[in-house]
Structure 1
Protein backbone atom coordinates (compact mmCIF):
# COMPACT_ATOMS: atom_id res chain seq x y z
CA UNK A 1 0.00 0.00 0.00
CA UNK A 2 1.26 3.46 -0.82
CA UNK A 3 1.25 5.28 2.51
CA UNK A 4 1.66 8.68 0.88
CA UNK A 5 -1.35 8.19 -1.37
CA UNK A 6 -3.44 6.94 1.53
CA UNK A 7 -2.53 9.93 3.67
CA UNK A 8 -3.11 12.31 0.76
CA UNK A 9 -6.54 10.84 0.08
CA UNK A 10 -7.35 11.22 3.76
CA UNK A 11 -6.32 14.89 3.69
CA UNK A 12 -8.47 15.49 0.60
CA UNK A 13 -11.47 13.79 2.23
CA UNK A 14 -11.04 15.83 5.41
CA UNK A 15 -10.84 19.03 3.36
CA UNK A 16 -14.02 18.13 1.48
CA UNK A 17 -15.84 17.38 4.72
CA UNK A 18 -14.61 20.68 6.16
CA UNK A 19 -15.75 22.58 3.08
CA UNK A 20 -19.17 20.91 3.21
CA UNK A 21 -19.58 22.06 6.83
CA UNK A 22 -18.55 25.60 5.91
CA UNK A 23 -21.04 25.63 3.00
CA UNK A 24 -23.78 24.51 5.38
CA UNK A 25 -22.89 27.17 7.96
CA UNK A 26 -22.71 29.98 5.41
CA UNK A 27 -25.97 28.93 3.79
CA UNK A 28 -27.60 28.98 7.22
CA UNK A 29 -26.32 32.52 7.90
CA UNK A 30 -27.74 33.67 4.56
CA UNK A 31 -31.12 31.98 4.98
CA UNK A 32 -31.69 33.30 8.50
CA UNK A 33 -30.69 36.81 7.43
CA UNK A 34 -27.46 37.23 9.39
CA UNK A 35 -25.73 37.77 6.06
CA UNK A 36 -27.94 40.13 4.08
CA UNK A 37 -28.45 40.47 0.31
CA UNK A 38 -25.74 42.72 -1.11
CA UNK A 39 -23.48 42.32 1.92
CA UNK A 40 -19.79 41.84 1.20
CA UNK A 41 -18.26 38.77 2.84
CA UNK A 42 -15.13 39.42 4.90
CA UNK A 43 -12.99 36.32 4.67
CA UNK A 44 -10.85 36.92 7.73
CA UNK A 45 -13.83 37.71 9.94
CA UNK A 46 -15.81 34.68 8.75
CA UNK A 47 -12.78 32.39 9.03
CA UNK A 48 -12.41 33.37 12.69
CA UNK A 49 -16.13 33.07 13.34
CA UNK A 50 -16.34 29.58 11.85
CA UNK A 51 -12.95 28.47 13.17
CA UNK A 52 -11.58 27.55 9.74
CA UNK A 53 -8.74 28.58 7.44
CA UNK A 54 -9.27 30.85 4.47
CA UNK A 55 -8.55 28.17 1.83
CA UNK A 56 -11.63 25.95 2.48
CA UNK A 57 -13.65 29.10 3.17
CA UNK A 58 -12.89 30.40 -0.31
CA UNK A 59 -13.76 26.99 -1.77
CA UNK A 60 -17.12 27.25 0.00
CA UNK A 61 -17.61 30.74 -1.46
CA UNK A 62 -17.05 29.36 -4.95
CA UNK A 63 -19.60 26.57 -4.44
CA UNK A 64 -22.22 28.98 -3.09
CA UNK A 65 -21.54 31.37 -5.98
CA UNK A 66 -22.13 28.49 -8.40
CA UNK A 67 -25.42 27.77 -6.60
CA UNK A 68 -26.49 31.41 -6.92
CA UNK A 69 -26.40 32.38 -3.24
CA UNK A 70 -23.27 34.51 -3.69
CA UNK A 71 -21.92 36.76 -6.44
CA UNK A 72 -18.26 37.39 -7.17
CA UNK A 73 -17.29 40.94 -8.05
CA UNK A 74 -13.84 41.84 -9.39
CA UNK A 75 -11.76 43.78 -6.84
CA UNK A 76 -14.54 43.40 -4.26
CA UNK A 77 -14.67 39.68 -3.55
CA UNK A 78 -17.84 37.81 -2.74
CA UNK A 79 -21.18 39.37 -1.84
CA UNK A 80 -24.51 37.82 -0.90
CA UNK A 81 -26.67 37.66 -4.03
CA UNK A 82 -29.29 40.38 -4.20
CA UNK A 83 -32.31 39.92 -6.45
CA UNK A 84 -34.46 42.67 -7.85
CA UNK A 85 -38.23 42.40 -8.09
CA UNK A 86 -37.88 41.89 -11.85
CA UNK A 87 -35.38 39.06 -11.32
CA UNK A 88 -37.64 37.33 -8.81
CA UNK A 89 -40.51 37.62 -11.28
CA UNK A 90 -38.36 35.95 -13.95
CA UNK A 91 -37.36 33.15 -11.58
CA UNK A 92 -41.00 32.65 -10.62
CA UNK A 93 -41.98 32.42 -14.28
CA UNK A 94 -39.22 29.89 -14.94
CA UNK A 95 -40.21 27.85 -11.89
CA UNK A 96 -43.86 27.89 -12.98
CA UNK A 97 -43.04 26.75 -16.50
CA UNK A 98 -40.69 23.98 -15.40
CA UNK A 99 -42.84 22.68 -12.56
CA UNK A 100 -45.98 22.68 -14.71
CA UNK A 101 -44.12 20.52 -17.25
CA UNK A 102 -43.02 18.13 -14.51
CA UNK A 103 -46.53 17.92 -13.09
CA UNK A 104 -48.01 17.11 -16.50
CA UNK A 105 -45.66 14.13 -16.86
CA UNK A 106 -46.11 12.80 -13.34
CA UNK A 107 -46.18 9.10 -12.53
CA UNK A 108 -48.66 8.68 -9.71
CA UNK A 109 -46.96 7.81 -6.41
CA UNK A 110 -47.43 4.48 -4.69
CA UNK A 111 -48.34 4.19 -1.01
CA UNK A 112 -44.70 4.35 0.10
CA UNK A 113 -44.04 7.56 -1.85
CA UNK A 114 -47.20 9.18 -0.48
CA UNK A 115 -46.22 8.18 3.05
CA UNK A 116 -42.80 9.74 2.53
CA UNK A 117 -44.36 13.06 1.48
CA UNK A 118 -46.79 12.95 4.41
CA UNK A 119 -43.95 12.31 6.85
CA UNK A 120 -41.95 15.23 5.48
CA UNK A 121 -44.94 17.54 5.76
CA UNK A 122 -45.71 16.29 9.28
CA UNK A 123 -42.10 17.07 10.23
CA UNK A 124 -42.60 20.58 8.82
CA UNK A 125 -45.83 20.96 10.83
CA UNK A 126 -43.93 20.08 14.00
CA UNK A 127 -41.56 22.97 13.28
CA UNK A 128 -44.13 25.68 12.56
CA UNK A 129 -43.43 27.34 15.91
CA UNK A 130 -39.75 26.40 16.04
CA UNK A 131 -36.90 28.89 15.88
CA UNK A 132 -34.94 26.54 13.60
CA UNK A 133 -35.93 28.09 10.29
CA UNK A 134 -33.26 26.24 8.30
CA UNK A 135 -34.68 22.84 9.29
CA UNK A 136 -38.10 23.91 8.03
CA UNK A 137 -36.61 25.24 4.79
CA UNK A 138 -34.64 22.05 4.16
CA UNK A 139 -37.69 19.86 4.82
CA UNK A 140 -39.70 22.03 2.42
CA UNK A 141 -37.08 21.57 -0.28
CA UNK A 142 -37.01 17.82 0.33
CA UNK A 143 -40.82 17.70 0.03
CA UNK A 144 -40.75 19.43 -3.35
CA UNK A 145 -37.83 17.31 -4.51
CA UNK A 146 -39.92 14.25 -3.70
CA UNK A 147 -42.77 15.58 -5.84
CA UNK A 148 -40.52 16.59 -8.76
CA UNK A 149 -38.93 13.16 -8.91
CA UNK A 150 -42.32 11.59 -9.59
CA UNK A 151 -41.69 12.85 -13.12
CA UNK A 152 -39.34 10.97 -15.47
CA UNK A 153 -38.10 14.28 -16.97
CA UNK A 154 -34.76 14.23 -15.16
CA UNK A 155 -33.22 17.11 -17.14
CA UNK A 156 -36.10 19.39 -16.20
CA UNK A 157 -35.87 18.21 -12.57
CA UNK A 158 -32.22 19.30 -12.54
CA UNK A 159 -33.14 22.66 -14.05
CA UNK A 160 -35.91 23.39 -11.55
CA UNK A 161 -33.39 22.57 -8.79
CA UNK A 162 -31.04 25.18 -10.28
CA UNK A 163 -33.77 27.81 -10.47
CA UNK A 164 -34.75 27.01 -6.89
CA UNK A 165 -31.20 27.62 -5.66
CA UNK A 166 -31.02 31.00 -7.43
CA UNK A 167 -33.96 32.28 -5.40
CA UNK A 168 -33.43 30.19 -2.26
CA UNK A 169 -32.71 33.03 0.15
CA UNK A 170 -35.74 35.06 -0.93
CA UNK A 171 -38.17 32.19 -1.03
CA UNK A 172 -36.82 31.08 2.34
CA UNK A 173 -37.67 34.52 3.71
CA UNK A 174 -41.28 33.65 2.96
CA UNK A 175 -41.18 31.31 5.95
CA UNK A 176 -39.98 33.84 8.49
CA UNK A 177 -43.29 33.79 10.38
CA UNK A 178 -45.26 30.90 11.87
CA UNK A 179 -48.28 31.94 9.81
CA UNK A 180 -46.35 31.66 6.55
CA UNK A 181 -44.97 28.26 7.60
CA UNK A 182 -48.49 27.08 8.45
CA UNK A 183 -49.71 28.14 5.00
CA UNK A 184 -46.97 26.08 3.36
CA UNK A 185 -47.93 22.99 5.36
CA UNK A 186 -51.58 23.46 4.38
CA UNK A 187 -50.67 23.82 0.71
CA UNK A 188 -48.61 20.66 0.91
CA UNK A 189 -51.59 18.79 2.34
CA UNK A 190 -53.62 19.90 -0.67
CA UNK A 191 -50.88 18.67 -3.00
CA UNK A 192 -50.77 15.31 -1.21
CA UNK A 193 -54.57 15.03 -1.42
CA UNK A 194 -54.49 15.67 -5.18
CA UNK A 195 -51.76 13.03 -5.59
CA UNK A 196 -53.76 10.56 -3.53
CA UNK A 197 -56.85 11.16 -5.68
CA UNK A 198 -54.73 11.05 -8.84
CA UNK A 199 -56.46 14.20 -10.00
CA UNK A 200 -54.12 16.04 -12.38
CA UNK A 201 -56.19 19.22 -12.58
CA UNK A 202 -56.41 19.45 -8.79
CA UNK A 203 -52.68 18.73 -8.51
CA UNK A 204 -51.77 21.49 -10.96
CA UNK A 205 -54.12 23.91 -9.18
CA UNK A 206 -52.71 23.15 -5.71
CA UNK A 207 -49.14 23.46 -6.98
CA UNK A 208 -49.90 26.77 -8.72
CA UNK A 209 -51.54 28.27 -5.63
CA UNK A 210 -48.58 27.21 -3.52
CA UNK A 211 -46.05 28.75 -5.94
CA UNK A 212 -47.96 32.01 -6.17
CA UNK A 213 -48.35 32.25 -2.40
CA UNK A 214 -44.63 31.65 -1.89
CA UNK A 215 -43.76 34.27 -4.52
CA UNK A 216 -46.06 36.76 -2.79
CA UNK A 217 -44.38 36.18 0.54
CA UNK A 218 -40.93 36.56 -0.98
CA UNK A 219 -42.01 39.77 -2.71
CA UNK A 220 -43.29 41.21 0.55
CA UNK A 221 -39.94 40.44 2.18
CA UNK A 222 -38.11 42.12 -0.69
CA UNK A 223 -40.22 45.24 -0.26
CA UNK A 224 -39.10 45.46 3.38
CA UNK A 225 -35.40 45.42 2.49
Structure 2
Protein backbone atom coordinates (compact mmCIF):
# COMPACT_ATOMS: atom_id res chain seq x y z
CA UNK A 1 0.00 0.00 0.00
CA UNK A 2 1.39 3.41 -1.00
CA UNK A 3 1.62 6.39 1.36
CA UNK A 4 -1.29 8.05 -0.46
CA UNK A 5 -3.43 4.91 -0.17
CA UNK A 6 -2.63 4.67 3.54
CA UNK A 7 -3.64 8.30 4.06
CA UNK A 8 -6.90 7.76 2.17
CA UNK A 9 -7.63 4.64 4.26
CA UNK A 10 -7.04 6.54 7.51
CA UNK A 11 -9.19 9.43 6.24
CA UNK A 12 -12.07 7.12 5.26
CA UNK A 13 -12.10 5.52 8.73
CA UNK A 14 -12.04 8.97 10.37
CA UNK A 15 -14.92 10.20 8.22
CA UNK A 16 -16.95 7.00 8.75
CA UNK A 17 -16.43 7.12 12.53
CA UNK A 18 -17.51 10.76 12.72
CA UNK A 19 -20.62 10.24 10.58
CA UNK A 20 -21.54 7.08 12.46
CA UNK A 21 -21.42 8.98 15.76
CA UNK A 22 -23.52 11.81 14.32
CA UNK A 23 -26.19 9.44 12.99
CA UNK A 24 -26.37 7.21 16.06
CA UNK A 25 -26.30 10.26 18.32
CA UNK A 26 -29.29 11.83 16.56
CA UNK A 27 -27.43 14.81 15.10
CA UNK A 28 -28.19 13.60 11.57
CA UNK A 29 -31.79 12.47 11.11
CA UNK A 30 -33.34 9.83 8.83
CA UNK A 31 -33.74 11.14 5.29
CA UNK A 32 -31.18 13.92 5.77
CA UNK A 33 -28.97 14.54 2.72
CA UNK A 34 -25.24 13.89 3.09
CA UNK A 35 -23.24 15.93 0.58
CA UNK A 36 -19.91 14.45 -0.43
CA UNK A 37 -18.40 17.83 -1.25
CA UNK A 38 -19.28 19.15 2.21
CA UNK A 39 -17.63 16.14 3.84
CA UNK A 40 -14.51 16.54 1.69
CA UNK A 41 -14.23 20.21 2.73
CA UNK A 42 -14.96 19.47 6.40
CA UNK A 43 -12.33 16.74 6.69
CA UNK A 44 -9.82 18.17 4.23
CA UNK A 45 -10.01 14.99 2.17
CA UNK A 46 -10.49 14.01 -1.44
CA UNK A 47 -13.68 12.44 -2.76
CA UNK A 48 -12.13 8.94 -2.67
CA UNK A 49 -12.07 8.45 1.14
CA UNK A 50 -15.46 10.17 1.41
CA UNK A 51 -17.00 7.68 -1.02
CA UNK A 52 -15.35 4.77 0.80
CA UNK A 53 -16.65 6.02 4.16
CA UNK A 54 -20.18 6.23 2.76
CA UNK A 55 -19.92 2.69 1.38
CA UNK A 56 -18.88 1.44 4.85
CA UNK A 57 -21.87 3.21 6.43
CA UNK A 58 -24.16 1.80 3.76
CA UNK A 59 -23.00 -1.71 4.75
CA UNK A 60 -23.72 -0.76 8.38
CA UNK A 61 -27.30 0.17 7.45
CA UNK A 62 -26.80 3.82 8.36
CA UNK A 63 -26.61 5.42 4.91
CA UNK A 64 -28.54 4.93 1.68
CA UNK A 65 -26.62 5.52 -1.55
CA UNK A 66 -28.48 6.23 -4.78
CA UNK A 67 -26.47 5.95 -8.01
CA UNK A 68 -25.93 9.31 -9.76
CA UNK A 69 -27.97 11.03 -7.06
CA UNK A 70 -26.24 11.08 -3.67
CA UNK A 71 -26.32 9.83 -0.10
CA UNK A 72 -28.92 10.12 2.64
CA UNK A 73 -29.22 8.98 6.23
CA UNK A 74 -31.20 5.75 6.04
CA UNK A 75 -34.84 5.94 7.01
CA UNK A 76 -37.55 3.34 7.59
CA UNK A 77 -41.25 3.39 6.97
CA UNK A 78 -43.41 2.29 9.85
CA UNK A 79 -43.96 -1.09 8.16
CA UNK A 80 -40.21 -1.58 7.67
CA UNK A 81 -39.45 -0.65 11.26
CA UNK A 82 -42.10 -3.01 12.61
CA UNK A 83 -40.71 -5.79 10.42
CA UNK A 84 -37.20 -5.09 11.73
CA UNK A 85 -38.48 -5.43 15.30
CA UNK A 86 -40.32 -8.65 14.49
CA UNK A 87 -37.07 -10.05 13.09
CA UNK A 88 -35.20 -8.90 16.18
CA UNK A 89 -37.73 -10.66 18.43
CA UNK A 90 -36.85 -13.92 16.70
CA UNK A 91 -33.11 -13.74 16.11
CA UNK A 92 -31.70 -11.82 19.08
CA UNK A 93 -32.77 -14.47 21.61
CA UNK A 94 -30.78 -17.00 19.58
CA UNK A 95 -27.66 -14.82 19.70
CA UNK A 96 -28.16 -14.24 23.43
CA UNK A 97 -28.41 -17.99 24.06
CA UNK A 98 -25.20 -18.54 22.08
CA UNK A 99 -23.42 -15.78 23.98
CA UNK A 100 -24.43 -16.55 27.56
CA UNK A 101 -22.12 -19.54 28.31
CA UNK A 102 -19.08 -17.40 27.42
CA UNK A 103 -19.96 -14.37 29.56
CA UNK A 104 -17.77 -14.15 32.67
CA UNK A 105 -18.53 -12.85 36.15
CA UNK A 106 -16.70 -9.67 35.13
CA UNK A 107 -19.00 -9.33 32.13
CA UNK A 108 -22.08 -9.81 34.32
CA UNK A 109 -20.81 -7.21 36.79
CA UNK A 110 -20.35 -4.74 33.91
CA UNK A 111 -23.91 -5.43 32.73
CA UNK A 112 -25.20 -4.82 36.25
CA UNK A 113 -23.33 -1.51 36.41
CA UNK A 114 -24.90 -0.41 33.11
CA UNK A 115 -28.39 -1.44 34.23
CA UNK A 116 -27.95 0.52 37.47
CA UNK A 117 -26.65 3.57 35.59
CA UNK A 118 -29.63 3.65 33.23
CA UNK A 119 -31.99 3.47 36.19
CA UNK A 120 -30.25 6.31 38.07
CA UNK A 121 -29.82 8.77 35.20
CA UNK A 122 -32.87 10.17 33.38
CA UNK A 123 -30.93 11.49 30.37
CA UNK A 124 -32.19 10.17 27.02
CA UNK A 125 -28.72 10.51 25.47
CA UNK A 126 -27.11 8.51 28.25
CA UNK A 127 -29.86 5.91 28.08
CA UNK A 128 -29.43 5.52 24.32
CA UNK A 129 -25.67 5.04 24.57
CA UNK A 130 -25.81 2.72 27.57
CA UNK A 131 -28.80 0.70 26.37
CA UNK A 132 -27.01 -0.04 23.10
CA UNK A 133 -23.80 -0.91 24.94
CA UNK A 134 -25.72 -3.09 27.40
CA UNK A 135 -27.51 -5.21 24.81
CA UNK A 136 -24.53 -5.60 22.50
CA UNK A 137 -22.49 -6.63 25.55
CA UNK A 138 -24.99 -9.40 26.29
CA UNK A 139 -24.20 -10.76 22.81
CA UNK A 140 -20.44 -10.31 23.08
CA UNK A 141 -19.86 -13.91 24.19
CA UNK A 142 -21.02 -15.22 20.82
CA UNK A 143 -18.32 -15.80 18.17
CA UNK A 144 -18.31 -13.42 15.18
CA UNK A 145 -20.94 -14.59 12.73
CA UNK A 146 -23.38 -13.53 10.03
CA UNK A 147 -26.03 -13.38 12.75
CA UNK A 148 -24.12 -10.96 14.98
CA UNK A 149 -23.33 -8.72 11.99
CA UNK A 150 -26.96 -8.80 10.89
CA UNK A 151 -28.25 -7.91 14.37
CA UNK A 152 -25.82 -5.00 14.71
CA UNK A 153 -27.10 -3.70 11.37
CA UNK A 154 -30.70 -3.94 12.62
CA UNK A 155 -29.70 -1.97 15.72
CA UNK A 156 -28.17 0.69 13.48
CA UNK A 157 -31.19 1.05 11.20
CA UNK A 158 -33.64 1.28 14.10
CA UNK A 159 -31.53 3.60 16.28
CA UNK A 160 -33.52 6.77 15.51
CA UNK A 161 -36.81 5.04 16.26
CA UNK A 162 -35.53 3.62 19.55
CA UNK A 163 -34.57 7.18 20.48
CA UNK A 164 -38.09 8.36 19.68
CA UNK A 165 -39.48 5.50 21.77
CA UNK A 166 -37.20 6.43 24.69
CA UNK A 167 -38.50 10.00 24.58
CA UNK A 168 -42.09 8.76 24.55
CA UNK A 169 -41.88 6.43 27.55
CA UNK A 170 -39.71 8.29 30.04
CA UNK A 171 -42.38 7.86 32.71
CA UNK A 172 -43.89 5.72 34.06
CA UNK A 173 -43.22 2.95 31.51
CA UNK A 174 -39.45 3.44 31.62
CA UNK A 175 -39.55 1.64 34.97
CA UNK A 176 -40.61 -1.54 33.15
CA UNK A 177 -37.65 -1.16 30.80
CA UNK A 178 -35.27 -0.91 33.74
CA UNK A 179 -36.87 -3.94 35.39
CA UNK A 180 -36.36 -5.97 32.22
CA UNK A 181 -32.69 -4.98 32.09
CA UNK A 182 -32.24 -6.22 35.66
CA UNK A 183 -34.12 -9.43 34.85
CA UNK A 184 -31.80 -10.06 31.89
CA UNK A 185 -28.75 -9.60 34.11
CA UNK A 186 -30.23 -12.04 36.62
CA UNK A 187 -30.95 -14.63 33.91
CA UNK A 188 -27.41 -14.33 32.57
CA UNK A 189 -25.97 -14.62 36.07
CA UNK A 190 -28.02 -17.79 36.66
CA UNK A 191 -27.26 -19.07 33.12
CA UNK A 192 -30.98 -19.57 32.51
CA UNK A 193 -31.19 -19.22 28.74
CA UNK A 194 -34.90 -20.06 28.54
CA UNK A 195 -35.84 -17.24 30.94
CA UNK A 196 -33.40 -14.88 29.25
CA UNK A 197 -35.01 -15.50 25.86
CA UNK A 198 -38.50 -14.87 27.25
CA UNK A 199 -37.45 -11.60 28.88
CA UNK A 200 -35.67 -10.41 25.75
CA UNK A 201 -38.61 -11.18 23.46
CA UNK A 202 -40.94 -9.25 25.78
CA UNK A 203 -38.43 -6.39 25.98
CA UNK A 204 -38.16 -5.97 22.20
CA UNK A 205 -41.87 -6.54 21.64
CA UNK A 206 -42.89 -3.75 24.00
CA UNK A 207 -40.93 -1.23 21.95
CA UNK A 208 -42.51 -2.46 18.72
CA UNK A 209 -46.03 -2.22 20.12
CA UNK A 210 -45.39 1.29 21.43
CA UNK A 211 -43.97 2.46 18.10
CA UNK A 212 -47.06 1.14 16.32
CA UNK A 213 -49.13 3.63 18.33
CA UNK A 214 -47.13 6.58 16.97
CA UNK A 215 -47.13 6.71 13.14
CA UNK A 216 -46.14 10.39 13.35
CA UNK A 217 -42.60 9.27 14.19
CA UNK A 218 -42.23 7.97 10.64
CA UNK A 219 -43.59 11.03 8.81
Compute the RMSD of aligned alpha carbons. 3.2
What is aligned with 1:31? Answer: 24
What is aligned with 2:104? Answer: 110
For 2:14, which of 6, 21, 24 is the aligned residue? 21
What is aligned with 2:75? Answer: 82
What is aligned with 2:130? Answer: 139
Distance 2:147 2:200 in 1: 16
Q: What SS does the aligned partner of 1:174 have?
A: helix
TM-score of the aligned structures, taking structure 1 as reference length: 0.75
Partners of 1:129 and 1:178 within 8 A in 2: no
What is aligned with 1:166? Answer: 157
What is aligned with 1:64? Answer: 57
Deviations 1:94-117 (CA, angstroms, capped at 9, x unpaired): 212111223444427432221121
Partners of 1:128 and 1:178 within 8 A in 2: no
Q: What SS does the aligned partner of 1:95 have?
A: helix
1:154, distance to aligned residue in structure 2 (A): 3.8
Distance 2:23 2:55 in 1: 15
Pair 1:107–1:32, CA change in 2 (3 A): closer
Pair 1:104–1:72, CA change in 2 (3 A): same
What is aligned with 1:128? Answer: 122
Pair 1:23–1:196, CA change in 2 (3 A): same
Distance 2:32 2:146 in 1: 33
What is aligned with 1:93? Answer: 86
1:182, distance to aligned residue in structure 2 (A): 4.8
Distance 2:51 2:67 in 1: 15
Pair 1:197–1:214, CA change in 2 (3 A): same
Partners of 2:75 and 2:157 within 8 A in 1: no
- Gapped regions of structure 2 (runs ≥ 5): none
Partners of 1:173 and 1:217 within 8 A in 2: no
Task: Verify: 1:208 aligned to 2:195, yes or no.
Answer: no
How many matched pairs?
Answer: 214
1:152, distance to aligned residue in structure 2 (A): 5.7
Distance 2:25 2:205 in 1: 22
TM-score of the aligned structures, taking structure 2 as reference length: 0.77
Partners of 1:37 and 1:81 within 8 A in 2: yes
Partners of 2:12 and 2:53 within 8 A in 1: yes
- Gapped regions of structure 1 (runs ≥ 5): none
